[in-house]
Chain A
Amino acid sequence: MQSGRFFSKFVFGLTGLITALAPVVVHAESIGADYKVHRVADMFQPLSRPAEMIHEGALLVLLICLGIFSVVTGLTIYIVVRFRRKETDNDQEPPQIYGSSHIEMAWTVIPILITVVLILVTSRTIGEIQNMKMPEDALKVRVVGHQWWWEIHYPDLGVITANELHIPVSSRDPEKARPTHLLLQSADVIHSFWVPQLAGKTDLIPNRTNELWLEPYQTGVYLGNCAEYCGTQHANMLLRVIVHTPEEFERWVAQQKAPVPEPVTAQQIEGKRLFFAYSCMNCHKIGDTVAQGLFGPDLTKLMTRQTIGAGVAPLNHETLWRWVRDPQDLKVGCLMPDMQLQKHEVDDVVAYLETLK
């Protein structure tokens, strides 16, 4: 216990969030835990088709802008140096020039030409990305934004999860390509789905369904954030996209669909009793039990996830315990209230929750 407390205090107790550079290995059964975690979400290292398409256009724009920047800055410096007032100058005013229509014409036409190029390139890319036809077998996922977490549905697979989007890797070979088609919705305020290395961002807006597609070419874990200010804990509404090989993805789906094992030990059974006796089930859903709440994340396969609180901390015994004890401790302002459980009750509930895998 002593060592446990020590561990808690210095690794998660005090820090309370993910600081590890290395991939966070949480659970043996967390499929994909050994993938590379792309912690720096650099949009200039796109690893998915729509992000690559954006990147191409972006490079062209950057190049043009860099060109304009160099020419204008160079010109300014030249003018400032060449036409500065010198010590040797007499008091005479320089020749008064009022303008020149030829020169004006030149510096109107050149920007127009540059703008036309930009317009053509941009219009094409907008159409290409936005009107991309999704193949029949594209994986459909419905992502619903909540204050401050993500609800994730796979309507064709019958899987529900939260905060961590699992998708299969696609391929540059059109035969084997398998894009993921996201339908974005919101349960409360506006959020925005942004994983820079996979695609541009698209807002999740209440009363509206937006679309987005991902087509990653590499397995791995990709990080993103909610990109539209959505209230107190906007900063800790993190996204994690886990891109699997097709086989691993099937394994993950099977794992998610497997029935939830019944609690075995006395502590687990007591935890389950408490879970259903207190109001936990008003907000959370667990498989086919009577807990069918919709306000909080689905807990059916809680322990297969890598993080807790939409990415605020890695999921393990310590953080789960702290979360159940008082969610406001890890994520102040989050909508799950402090349930005021006794310490031994927290132990029991956590023991039960840890069977959900």
Chain B
Amino acid sequence: MANATSTGESEYTFPAPAQVGREPGSLTRLVQEMVFTVDHKRLGLMYIGAGLLFFVVAGIMATLIRIQLLFPHSTWLKLIGHSTFLDPDVFNRFFTMHGTAMVFLVGMPIIFGFANYLIPLMIGTRDMAFPRLNAFGFWVFFFSGLFLYASYFTAPGLYNAGSAPDVGWFAYAPLMSKAFSRGHSSDYWTLSILLGGIGSIATAINILVTIFCYRCKGMTLGRMPLFVWMWIVVAFLVIIALPPLSAAQIMITLDRYLGAKFFDTQAGGSAVLWQHFFWIFGHPEVYILIIPGFAIASEVIPVFSRKPIFGYPIMVAATVMIGFISLGVWAHHMFTVGMTSIGNTFFAISTMIIAIPTGIKIFNWLGTMYGGKIRFELPMIFALAFLFQFLCAGLTGIMLSVATFDWQLHDSYFVVAHFHYVLIGALLYMFFAGFYYWFPKAFGRMPNKRLGLWHFWLFTIGFNLTFMPMHILGFLGMPRRIFTYEADRGWEIWNQIATVGLLFQIPGILIFVYNLIYSYVKGKEAGDDPWDAWTLEWATTSPPPEYNFDKNPEVRSRRPLWDLKHPEDPDWKFE
């Protein structure tokens, strides 16, 4: 390998280590391995597994929310003789826990899971820079999640302060101050997020150090897979955006217990200050979640179009631009708090500008597909749905960025539709694509395509049935977070269609979970490189051994495996 010459002959190879068998282990052994492991792959899978677990719990809550909104108040009365299916406090806890869990306990761990599993493999190294810090990050996240849900059992409050937090996932001051949120439920929210934030920051630092210091020979920054490039941006965003959130959680705890007055409006504190703190985290957070989705798309789309990504440097530049601009748009969540017209205009403009690099990405993905030979494997099918649904999400985002229009749409169901198109329609779809794409690598077996197609169609129909009508609900003036509504406001039919969508989504998810188990046990043997892909993770065995590569690989282009398979037409000649 060291003798690789510049004559153009492909002398370097990627010796695949001997296949590691899957010895049947006892459950205690499995648990023991999970607790003590510092292996990035195992931790990555544990992140994803825990994320899926919380996804199911938060999804059940969403189901109950949708059932509650199936009928207006009066109809529930006729049907069940009770004024409502869920009492308002129960409902409020559900949407709080649903939102908090989906962002902090589902989105964050699953993106970290992908990063953990893939980054060392993609840059040709043996583990993350700080394996133990990595394990620390996982366990801190996992216990912050358990801690949050423990509030249901262990946070008895005073009268009406109940169990789980019920202040919404952005817990606006002063609703979450001691005067209005009695008992300890909100403290569980605060401390859980504070804890999770520590884990996220640790993991982000770990990822950055790994990428900057542990790339294999020949892998310059410009030769990294786009997935890795996008993760540089995400990790920086995590490091910049999470500390304000942690600071805010500490401040609100000081408010609640030590009589500080940051957000205590009754003592002259500022309610708007909390919103600034929260959204200066909250908006970059949206990009922290969606850029890993872009990252997966940027791996999946080229491989299944059989072409390299179109405009690699532009894609990198666009991602970096999104990262920068996303730090300056937070107050578009606050167009209705009565900012000056200059303030509103500034944040409207910065928000609109972010549409430009985002649009460039969509065009580049299309450019990648153009002239290719598109193979409709499961990951690609999900990526195509992602393109369509992300387009919808982006366009509704542009509508929301028009501050005047936002005065109408803000906090209405239109916003609910918008961010579900971002987080489900785009991000979750890329998670699914990623699961199907790297499943053979992680477990050595192919995912079942038939089951995958059922999953795709059921979930896609269900998802759009549920969330498309919510745009209309917003136009008709339905505010979000209401546990019930009056009849005859034009809202029933759209709410009912939305709930019917669940009848498709739920079987879709069940089939997905079944497919994971079925394919793990009975899937076809995958081999090292089932998709005929080009990045380094496909150069090792499936599943990779603990040390990833026998010898550290060496690369000369962005697609080392292409070079290997096409010595007559290698990439490095053109880069």
Contacts and interface: CB of A to CB of B under 8 A. Distances in A.
Interface string A81-108: 0011100010001111111100110011
A80 B490 CA distance: 38
B312 A98 contact: yes
Interface in A206-238: 206-208, 210-211, 223-236, 238
Given A126-B341, A196-B477, A225-B479, A80 B172 contact: no
A226 B479 contact: yes
Given A14-B78, A80-B369, A235-B482, A112 B375 contact: no
B15 interface: no
B399 A111 contact: no
Given A99-B314, A123-B348, A228 B172 contact: yes
Contacts of B308: 96-98
B271 A205 contact: yes
A188 interface: yes
Contacts, number: 302
Given A61-B402, A230-B175, A83 B359 contact: no
15 contacts: A41-B477, A80-B374, A85-B374, A95-B307, A96-B308, A99-B314, A118-B352, A118-B401, A126-B345, A189-B180, A201-B408, A201-B411, A203-B337, A205-B272, A231-B175
Interface stretch (B45-53, B240-248, B385-393, B452-460): B385-393
Interface string A1-32: 00000000000001111111100000000000
Given A62-B399, A207-B271, A84 B356 contact: no
A19 B488 contact: yes
A179 B414 CA distance: 29
Contacts of B349: 119, 122-123
Contacts of A199: 407
Contacts of A94: 305-307, 371-373
B122 to A, nearest CB: 19
B345 A123 contact: yes
A76 B487 contact: no
A168 interface: no
Interface in A184-208: 184, 188-190, 192, 194, 196, 199-203, 205-208
Contact of A223 (B160, B271, B396, B489): B489
A39 interface: yes
Given A43-B408, A94-B372, A208 B355 contact: no
A54 B475 CA distance: 13
A40 B384 contact: no
A282 interface: no
A136 interface: no
Interface stretch (B27-35, B212-220, B360-368, B512-520): B360-368
Contact of B338 (A42, A210, A229): A210
Interface stretch (A65-73, A269-277, A296-304): A65-73
A58 interface: yes
A75 B370 CA distance: 10
B297 to A, nearest CB: 13
A43 B475 contact: yes
Contact of A83 (B160, B369, B398, B476): B369
A199 B373 CA distance: 51
B360 A44 contact: no
Contact of A202 (B73, B338, B353, B362): B338
A14 B77 contact: yes
Contacts of A40: 476-477, 488-490
B481 interface: yes
A126 B369 contact: no
Contacts of A85: 306, 373-376
A57 interface: yes
Nearest to A189: B175
A342 interface: no
B410 A227 contact: yes
Interface stretch (A127-135, A251-259, A287-295, A315-323): A127-135
A105 B391 CA distance: 20
B168 interface: yes
A111 B360 contact: yes
Contacts of B388: 73, 76
A279 interface: no
Contacts of B412: 227
Given A79-B369, A83-B371, A225-B477, A15 B88 contact: no
Interface string B224-236: 0000000000000
Contact of B488 (A39, A76, A79, A236): A39
Nearest to B412: A227
Pick from A20, A62, A225 the residue with the most CB of B within 10 Å.
A225
A189 B410 contact: no
Contacts of A228: 172, 336, 411
A321 B112 CA distance: 57
B486 A19 contact: yes
Interface residues of A, number: 98
A194 B481 CA distance: 14
A108 B482 contact: no
Given A61-B405, A85-B373, A96 B569 contact: yes
A99 B392 CA distance: 26
Interface in B125-170: 160, 166, 168
Nearest to B318: A108
A234 B479 CA distance: 10
Contacts of A147: 180
A73 B407 contact: no
B310 interface: yes
Contact of A127 (B341, B367, B411): B341
A355 interface: no
A75 B489 CA distance: 38
B270 interface: yes
B280 to A, nearest CB: 18
Contacts of B73: 15-17
B488 A107 contact: no
B525 interface: no
B483 interface: yes
Nearest to A18: B486
B310 A97 contact: yes
Given A76-B384, A333-B88, A97 B175 contact: no
A96 B312 CA distance: 13
B63 interface: no
Contacts of B370: 79, 83
Contacts of A62: 399
Nearest to B376: A84
Contacts of A189: 172, 174-175, 180, 271
Pick from A97, A233, A332 the residue with the most CB of B within 10 Å.
A97
Given A43-B408, A97-B307, A205-B271, A84 B175 contact: no
A208 B475 CA distance: 28
A229 B168 contact: yes
Contacts of B396: 65
Given A83-B370, A205-B272, A332 B88 contact: yes
Nearest to B76: A15
B186 interface: no
A245 interface: no
Contacts of A53: 404
Given A96-B308, A97-B371, A111-B356, A235 B484 contact: yes
Contacts of A192: 336, 411
Pick from A39, A40, A189 the residue with the most CB of B within 10 Å.
A189
A15 B77 contact: yes
A93 B406 CA distance: 47
Contact of B74 (A19, A80, A97): A19
Nearest to A66: B395
Given A104-B364, A229-B411, 16 more contacts: A51-B408, A54-B408, A72-B366, A83-B373, A125-B404, A184-B338, A188-B174, A188-B179, A190-B175, A196-B477, A200-B404, A200-B406, A207-B269, A227-B410, A236-B484, A333-B89
B574 interface: yes
Contact of B270 (A72, A97, A207, A211): A207
